[in-house]
């Protein structure tokens, strides 16, 4: 009991949490939605399976008593998301599907006396290869756009103080978090102070407004595919008094 009270003092009172997330008390890992649904519906699932057991074996006599009861494959606390297939694995699967498809259609074309040149003119992919990478949205290197955009902007030379004056600055919050490594901070609250110190340093005589923008991955957005690609680990609830991880980059 003392250990439990100490954990609550260090990590925060779990009963005051109103987010609706299911999280591990000591590690603050936020469980996936599949785990959340399994835990919430365990009693209902058990009752339904129990009634089905008695009904099919003792009432309807559809299933003999000697039949094995299937094991539930529910997502519980030890569940981890499946690792995404590598590009090599995707290529192998695509080649196997193409081989089977071409073999079947080639035999059919021989029987029907079809034109092979016309046969190979048709697309055999489920998605357009120009925008799809094995069923996923094809990603590009955004830095390739920089030379095109730099030609549209005035030249800057900080050494000679040739910097255009602006009255507003927009900053990418995720870039700043990756850029500012925790130097003297031990907790997340102290790191927030470092973060805000950098934001305040952007104000000058001409700059009257600074906006910090973070990405918002919505389900109906094109960036949802990026979130699925990056979201291979568990989410962790952080609090101000919680200590910072030793490896900042790995944590991010």
Measured distance CA(109)–CA(97) in Å, rounded: 18
| Residue 148's pLDDT band (cuts 50, 70, 90) | confident
Is the pLDDT score of 40 beyond 90?
no
Residues 6 or more apart in contact with residue 119 via CB below 8 angstroms? 105, 106, 109
161-220: pLDDT as tens digits: 666 778 899 999 999 999 998 888 899 999 999 999 999 999 888 888 999 999 877 777
Query: What DSSP line would sit under 195-217, residue for residue?
Result: HHHHHHTT--SS--EEEEE----
Q: State residue 251's pLDDT score.
A: 85
The torsion angles phi and psi of 78, rounded to 5 degrees, stand at: -85, 0
Taking a C-beta distance cutoff of 8 angstroms, is the pair 194, 235 a contact?
no
Is the pLDDT score of 75 beyond 70?
yes
């Amino acid at each position: 009991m003392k250990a439990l009270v100490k954990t609550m003092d260090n990590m925060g009172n779990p009963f005051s949490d109103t987010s609706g997330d299911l999280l591990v008390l000591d590690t603050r890992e936020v469980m996936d939605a599949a785990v959340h649904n399994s835990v919430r519906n365990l009693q209902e699932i058990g009752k339904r399976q129990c009634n089905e057991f008695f009904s099919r074996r003792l009432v309807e006599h559809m299933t003999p008593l000697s039949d094995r009861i299937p094991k539930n494959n529910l997502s519980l606390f030890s569940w981890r998301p499946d690792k995404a297939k590598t590009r090599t694995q995707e290529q192998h699967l695509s080649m196997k599907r193409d081989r089977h498809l071409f073999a079947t259609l080639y035999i059919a074309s021989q029987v029907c006396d079809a034109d092979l040149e016309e046969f190979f003119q048709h697309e055999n992919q489920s998605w357009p290869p120009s925008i799809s990478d094995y069923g996923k949205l094809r990603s590009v290197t955004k830095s390739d756009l920089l030379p095109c955009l730099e030609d549209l902007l005035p030249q800057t030379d900080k050494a000679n103080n040739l910097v255009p004056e602006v009255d507003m600055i927009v900053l990418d919050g995720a870039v700043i978090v990756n850029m500012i490594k925790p130097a003297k901070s031990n907790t997340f609250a102290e790191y927030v102070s470092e973060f805000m110190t950098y934001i305040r340093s952007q104000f000058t005589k001409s700059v009257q407004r600074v906006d910090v923008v973070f990405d918002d991955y919505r389900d109906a957005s094109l960036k949802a595919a990026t979130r699925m690609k990056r979201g291979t680990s568990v989410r962790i609830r952080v609090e101000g008094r919680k200590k910072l991880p030793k490896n900042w980059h790995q944590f991010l």
